[in-house]
């Protein structure tokens, strides 16, 4: 099955407005009128239309998510109705991720898994039972922390919608900032390594003349 999110270049956490915006830009570029009926580009335009028709409809999107990500999250939200099921699902997701090589991790799957947990009856049951929201947030944050900064940031509204403890909001901001700086530092290291490689290559070329 095609991944409609990847087709439109959006995250599973993207809002309807973001999905509409992404579709309009891509549809404008790939529309058959723009490329004299190029068959390959027309086929991609049809693929974009199919993806958009699913993701812009709330019910169809939910069913699609439950189907394409069933391997990680199970069959939709129906099974996550209690706090026990909520914590069990977190454990299952962790075990699944631990078995994967870093290159095999699909961030869309993780995002959908987290969204499913945050929108389930199970988390509401846990929030009623637990005296400290941090007891719920901490195991969930271990999964969230796997995501890149952009995907993490898109979950912010869902996080704030479920958790109201000021300590959690502070911890969330710390997690987000650490991830942002980590990715920025990694980019700087890559750029420095590239500059060094180019410099060394130039020196070698000069020395061989």
What pLDDT band is residue 163 in, cutting at 50, 70 and 90? very high
CA angle 28–111–99, rounded 5-degree value: 125
What pLDDT band is residue 63 in, cutting at 50, 70 and 90? confident
pLDDT in tens, 171-197: 999 999 999 999 999 889 999 999 998
Question: Left if phi > 0, otherwise alpha if psi is -120 to 50, otherwise beta: which for 97?
Answer: alpha
CA pair distance 131, 56, nearest whole angstrom? 38
Please report the pLDDT score of residue 209 as a whole number. Answer: 66
Please report the pLDDT score of residue 77 as a whole number. Answer: 44
Cα dihedral 30, 36, 40, 44 in deg (nearest 10):
20
Please report the pLDDT score of residue 82 as a whole number. Answer: 92
Residue 57, pLDDT > 90, answer yes
Q: Give domain limits for the chain.
A: 4-66, 69-184
Fold classification of 4-66 (topology level): Helix Hairpins (1.10.287)
Of all residues in the chain, the percent with pLDDT exceeding 90 is: 48
CA pair distance 104, 91, nearest whole angstrom? 19
Helices within the chain (DSSP H only): 4-8, 16-30, 39-55, 58-68, 70-73, 83-98, 107-118, 121-129, 134-144, 149-153, 156-162, 166-207
Tell me phi and psi for residue 193, to 5 degrees: -60, -40
Please report the pLDDT score of residue 70 as a whole number. Answer: 60
Residue 68, pLDDT > 80, answer no
Q: How far is CA 82 from the centre of its chain?
A: 25
Residue 66, pLDDT > 80, answer no
pLDDT in tens, 88-114: 989 988 988 888 887 888 888 888 889
Q: Considering only CA atoms, which of 160, 185, 186 is closest in space to residue 171?
A: 160
CA pair distance 125, 77, nearest whole angstrom? 14
């Amino acid at each position: 099955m095609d991944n409609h999110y990847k087709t439109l270049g959006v995250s599973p956490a993207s809002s309807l407005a973001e999905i509409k915006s992404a579709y309009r830009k891509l549809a404008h570029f790939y529309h058959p009128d723009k490329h004299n009926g190029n068959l390959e580009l027309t086929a991609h335009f049809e693929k974009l239309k199919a993806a958009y028709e699913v993701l812009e409809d709330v019910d169809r999107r939910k069913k699609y998510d439950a189907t394409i990500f069933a391997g990680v999250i199970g069959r939709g939200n129906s099974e996550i109705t209690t706090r026990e099921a909520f914590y069990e699902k977190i454990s299952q997701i962790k075990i699944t991720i631990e078995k994967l090589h870093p290159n095999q991790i699909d961030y869309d799957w993780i995002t959908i898994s987290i969204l499913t947990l945050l929108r389930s009856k199970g988390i509401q049951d846990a929030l009623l039972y637990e005296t400290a929201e941090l007891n719920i947030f901490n195991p969930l944050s271990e999964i969230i922390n796997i995501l890149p900064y952009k995907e993490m940031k898109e979950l912010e509204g869902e996080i704030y919608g479920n958790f109201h403890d000021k300590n959690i909001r502070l911890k969330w901001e710390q997690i987000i900032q650490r991830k942002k700086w980590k990715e920025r530092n990694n980019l700087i290291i890559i750029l420095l390594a590239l500059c060094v490689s180019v410099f060394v290559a130039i020196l070698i070329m000069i020395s061989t003349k």
